[in-house]
Amino acid sequence: MTELRFRTDLYAVEAIEQTVAVYEAYATIEREHGEEVDILRVTAPVGVDEEILAAEIANYVLGATVDRDAGKVASS
């Protein structure tokens, strides 16, 4: 199990939710939502490199947050 922590003042909660929805088909993901931090506990299936999968998940959260924030700037 690999634990990923996302500060809610830096990462969009919607981006975290979107990422979980996309990746739950590829891993077991437990989410703990806190006021300041969202925690994802990722367990990869047998034969899948959990460290790489967790890095992909973290990258997806970042990209989804950037895309969401870019939309805010573009519509301003």
Mean pLDDT of the chain: 93
* pLDDT, tens digit, 9 for 90 and up, residues 4-31: 999 999 999 999 999 999 999 999 999 9
Tell me how many domains the chain contains. 1
Q: Dmax of the chain from CA atoms?
A: 46
Domain that holds residue 35: 2-74
Those residues with Cβ within 8 angstroms of residue 68's Cβ, 6 or more apart along the chain or in another chain: 12, 14, 15
pLDDT at 60: 97
CATH code of 32's domain:
3.30.70
For residues 33-47, give the mean pLDDT. Answer: 96
- Residue of 62, 6, 5, 52 lying closest to 27 (CA atoms): 52
Say whether pLDDT at 72 is over 50: yes
Say whether pLDDT at 73 is over 70: no
Burial class (CB in 10 A: 0-12, 13-18, 19+), 32: exposed
